Amino acid sequence: MYLCPLIAPMEYRFQDIEKKWQHFWHSNQTYRVDEHSTNPPYYVLDMFPYPSGAGLHVGHPLGYIASDIFARYKKHTGFNVLHPMGFDSFGLPAEQYAIQTGQHPAKTTKENIARYRDQLDKLGFNYDWSREIQTSSPSYYKWTQWIFIQLFNSWFNPKTNKAEPIDQLIQYLQAHGLSAEFLASISGGMDTELEPFTAVEWGAFTEGVKQSVLMNFRLAYLGESFVNWCPELGTVLANDEVVNGLSERGGYPVERKLLKQWSMRITAYAQRLLEGLDALDWPESIKDTQRNWIGRSEGASVRFPLINHEGWIEVFTTRPDTLYGVSFVTLAPEHEWVSSLCSVEQKAEVEAYVAKSKHRSERERMADVNTISGVFTGSYVAHPFTHEPIPVWVGDYVLVGYGTGAVMAVPAHDERDFKFATHFFLPIKQVIQPQQPHDFSLGAWTEKAGTLINSEALNGLSVYDAIQKMTDNIAHEGFGSKRINYRLRNAVFGRQRYWGEPIPVYFKDDIPYVIPTETLPLNLPEVDKYLPTEDGDPPLGRAVHWKFEDFYEYEKSTMPGWAGSSWYYLRYLDPTNENMLAAPDKIAYWRNVDLYMGGAEHATGHLLYARFWCKFLKDIGIVPFDEPFKKMINQGMILGRSSFVYRVVGESTFVSAGLKESYRTTPIHVDISLVSNDRLNIEGFKAWRTEFENATFILEPTGEYLCGYEVEKMSKSKYNVQTPDELVERFGADTLRMYEMFLGPVEQSKPWDTKGITGVHGFLKKFWRLFHPSGTFEVNDATPSLEHYKILHKTIRKIREDLDRFSFNTGVSNFMICVNELTEAKGNYREILEPLTVLLAPYAPHITEELWALLGHEPGSLYNAPYPTVNPAYLVESQHEYPVSINGRMRFKMTLSLSLTKEEIETVVMSESQTIKWLEGKDPKKIIIVPGKIVNLVI
């Protein structure tokens, strides 16, 4: 069997193998799936990428590889697996590029997609490309527009807790009008100042009035609201697109501006979005972030009647128990009654203050949260119970968008109110006696603990009881009601941009109407430039002959980036359907996503919006489920590992990292392609840039130049970007796939470092060599020994366990251990190698396909081969190597039969010479024996 290897060994030629099988899979449509299968369906989805001009770097495929391995595993274990891919192809970068170059964003996008597709294909994913979608293609956005129309034509009925046709609401209003009670019941999801009206009044309203009333109910609506306006980008942004007062893309300042905007009434779904989280198998951190973002707080609204004015100021409070401690009321500067409330003497001061706050950007306002500012309006409200006059102030610590834009200030029991009161010398009234000593001159007592004092009927109650009682009292006396408030804001849905889905709306007498669904899609028109018009209209204002029925103006803003991604998982189920977004039987077959793989950075954007649309689509009967993604895993970020050379200050001399302490140096980023295991390719470095042509080097004693390193985000400017392409070229896709998994747990962020890749590549070579013991392919059909079976079945068990808990990194290790042991054990048995090939197939699909074919199977059949199962009979052990510990510390080992009883083990251990040595003549106080595990002697 072991012949003298005169012929050159047949090496592992990964480049040929990978090219061959990628071509095979493509031309045989190996990964194409349909719903005509007796196997149960399983839906694996990756967050689809935005095809940027830079292409993929090694960080992008991390999640794709993990989900691909899992999808293949599911396929081998008898599931009908759907694993599609597409492109989120509307977006700002292509448009910015278009503005600079005049090139149509569709062209750039197409080129970028081709590049991405090419890069993805090289990694051997099992995507069913026949289902590819692109959000910017009219056949796709036709249905994004269709959903918008459904949202426009729906309202959220709080009684049924779901969306219903707006026509039903119209019928109701015709019959009953709009009562005050009805209005109160819907206050949660609305930001409305609607007045009640009767059925007769409704009938008498003009079309314009009717439509503006209905606009308060529609789930997609045109409303005036404060938005995040970004002048540099010339567009509004959603809350999740603003980070620390700057735009997420580009980092430009963002200001608050009152604008008429298309918005989504996501707040109507706040409670359902919150409740739905509990049942989801998502990372806790994402669920927490969403809970936080939704920000539910339970409390009461309380009305304070104005003195010498009509009406009242309504506040929201979570602490109605402290009502007797109110010493002033504060309004947000944007509160609509500020100007009408200020007295003649205070007018100038108030107006100046309001003007100042308006011009402060969101960022400035956040930057000095500790600066206390405010101004007295000169007006008073009456305390609802004591009727004492309470001064009304304006302060920018009160936010117009939260609660009612007004707060009742209880300085003794709220930290901000306390600071405000001490700054302006306002009274501080204690109404809760804490159990422990507390100095009320130093700060507020904000714990929800203690006994009520100075509060008439509430005196003596605990905080908890007082909250209940006061909430009831307020409602009973008619001063307010119990109320649940959410931090979640309605989402702005229009962008003053070109490269997005046109909003399917036209205007007739200034009233917006949706276009008939039969006329969809409303195609994105051509424009001469991608800039706003001279009149300040969005770029769509440049389109010529672009009118509904050649007469009515279309809406000129487009949809935001998150529109297309909010429902794309449904389109994969039926990507070419021209009559509906997806056929009901296909939706019913595949259902929602079983495993969703993607980044955690979408926690409050995409993942919340997609859940919202899913709930809406359920309400209108399109989907039979309430949540889009059952289980989610967030892959960690792969960070770059930048390399540095150290230039001696003022010279063209570079000193090696080990010697740099003796010099004054400046670190300079060096392209990582010039560095291998921290050693600099000096000739390459000199040739890299002309300025380094004549550089001199101070080397280590070994004659090498060592580079320093730092872990940073991967970026072109840091010369630390690693593309998958070059690694696929050098080591092959199977190596790259396994190496990315080998780096560590998928959900953990980690620095990229190619150092270890040779280890994984070496493993695949070693695996290949098992099938080529003397150079050529050769397997042994004889029956393997028990030892071989044991190695195999131990591995099967571990690999399956690792896959079931998404522990891909330990999976790779276990394959390595297996191949090391089989190499050691010798013997290229078919009965061992064949199941091992299937076992490895999800991780390394190319090499296993090649070997599978060499083993004599039909090419391409590996994908459908059943996954090996464990035969426990091979794993039964008769002996165990017992660690013997003295006082919990392992001292030596003894191999004993597992059939021994505790007593027998004790006898053997106690008579062992090592034991006697360690006992030093003492008697053990206690002997712990756990059969099959350990022995511990306590002395």
Whether 832 and 819 have beta carbons less than 8 Å apart is answered as no
Instruction: Number of residues interacting with RNA: please give it, by CB under 7 A.
Output: 90
CB of 601 to RNA, least distance (A): 7
Q: Per-residue contact track with RNA, 345 to 384, x per CB under 7 A?
A: --------------------xx-xxxxxx-----------
Of the candidate residues 316, 393, 493, 654, the single one contacting RNA (CB under 7 A)? 316
CB of 914 to RNA, least distance (A): 9
**Eight-state DSSP code of residue 847:** H
Between CA 766 and CA 758 the distance in angstroms is 12
678-737 residues near RNA, rule: CB under 7 A: 730
Whether 29 and 40 have beta carbons less than 8 Å apart is answered as no
Residue 658 is encoded by which pair of tokens? 């080990």
CB of 903 to RNA, least distance (A): 17
Q: Which stretch binds RNA (CB under 7 A): 30-38, 66-74, 281-289, 852-860?
A: 281-289
CB of 824 to RNA, least distance (A): 7
Of the candidate residues 115, 117, 686, 765, the single one contacting RNA (CB under 7 A)? 765
**Pair type for strands 593-598 and 41-46:** parallel
717-to-637, 713, 872 alpha-carbon distances in Å: 18, 10, 55
CB of 934 to RNA, least distance (A): 4
806-to-171, 633, 738, 799 alpha-carbon distances in Å: 53, 9, 14, 10
The residues, any chain, with a CB within 8 Å of residue 227's CB and separated by 6 or more, are 236, 237, 256, 257, 258, 259, 261, 492
Nearer to RNA, 722 or 936 (CB): 936
1-40 residues near RNA, rule: CB under 7 A: none
Between CA 189 and CA 157 the distance in angstroms is 10
Q: Is 755 in the site for RNA (CB under 7 A)?
A: yes
User: What does 193-227 look like in DSSP terms, one character per residue?
Assistant: -PPPB-HHHHHHS-HHHHHHHHTTTBSEEEEEEEE
Nearer to RNA, 211 or 735 (CB): 735
CB of 568 to RNA, least distance (A): 23
854-883 residues near RNA, rule: CB under 7 A: 881, 883
Which helix or strand (DSSP H or E) is residue 150 part of?
Answer: helix 138-152
Q: Which stretch binds RNA (CB under 7 A): 228-236, 293-301, 623-631, 852-860?
A: 293-301
Of the candidate residues 742, 768, 806, 852, the single one contacting RNA (CB under 7 A)? 742
**Pair type for strands 934-938 and 879-886:** parallel
451-510 residues near RNA, rule: CB under 7 A: 485, 487
Nearer to RNA, 428 or 603 (CB): 603
Nearer to RNA, 536 or 703 (CB): 703
Q: Is 744 in the site for RNA (CB under 7 A)?
A: yes
Whether 462 and 451 have beta carbons less than 8 Å apart is answered as yes
Length of the chain: 939
Q: Is 633 in the site for RNA (CB under 7 A)?
A: no
Q: Is 604 in the site for RNA (CB under 7 A)?
A: yes
Beta strands in 280-439 (DSSP E): 296-305, 312-317, 328-331, 375-382, 389-394, 406-409, 432-433
Which helix or strand (DSSP H or E) is residue 930 part of?
Answer: strand 926-930
Nearer to RNA, 370 or 441 (CB): 370
Between CA 859 and CA 443 the distance in angstroms is 76
Of the candidate residues 740, 753, 834, 849, the single one contacting RNA (CB under 7 A)? 753
Which helix or strand (DSSP H or E) is residue 162 part of?
Answer: strand 162-165
Q: Is 295 in the site for RNA (CB under 7 A)?
A: yes
> 586: how many CB neighbours lie within 10 A of its CB?
18
The residues, any chain, with a CB within 8 Å of residue 414's CB and separated by 6 or more, are 319, 322, 444, 446
Nearer to RNA, 649 or 890 (CB): 890
Q: Is 519 in the site for RNA (CB under 7 A)?
A: no
811-840 residues near RNA, rule: CB under 7 A: 812-813, 816-817, 820, 823
Start-to-end Cα distance in the chain: 57
Q: Is 318 in the site for RNA (CB under 7 A)?
A: yes
Q: Is 416 in the site for RNA (CB under 7 A)?
A: yes
Distance of CA 139 to the CA centre of its chain: 27
CB of 321 to RNA, least distance (A): 11
907-936 residues near RNA, rule: CB under 7 A: 926, 928, 930, 933-934, 936
Q: Which stretch binds RNA (CB under 7 A): 179-187, 258-266, 499-507, 745-753?
A: 745-753
Half-sphere exposure of 147 (CA within 13 A, CB side): 29
CB of 24 to RNA, least distance (A): 27
Residue 226 is encoded by which pair of tokens? 């404060």
527-546 residues near RNA, rule: CB under 7 A: none
CB of 604 to RNA, least distance (A): 6
Nearer to RNA, 262 or 486 (CB): 486
Q: Is 332 in the site for RNA (CB under 7 A)?
A: yes
Of the candidate residues 46, 88, 255, 414, the single one contacting RNA (CB under 7 A)? 414
563-592 residues near RNA, rule: CB under 7 A: none
Q: Is 795 in the site for RNA (CB under 7 A)?
A: no
125-164 residues near RNA, rule: CB under 7 A: none
**Pair type for strands 552-553 and 547-548:** antiparallel
881-900 residues near RNA, rule: CB under 7 A: 881, 883, 885, 887-890, 893
191-250 residues near RNA, rule: CB under 7 A: 240, 243
Whether 927 and 894 have beta carbons less than 8 Å apart is answered as no
Strand partners, 41: 80
Of the candidate residues 407, 770, 840, 905, the single one contacting RNA (CB under 7 A)? 407
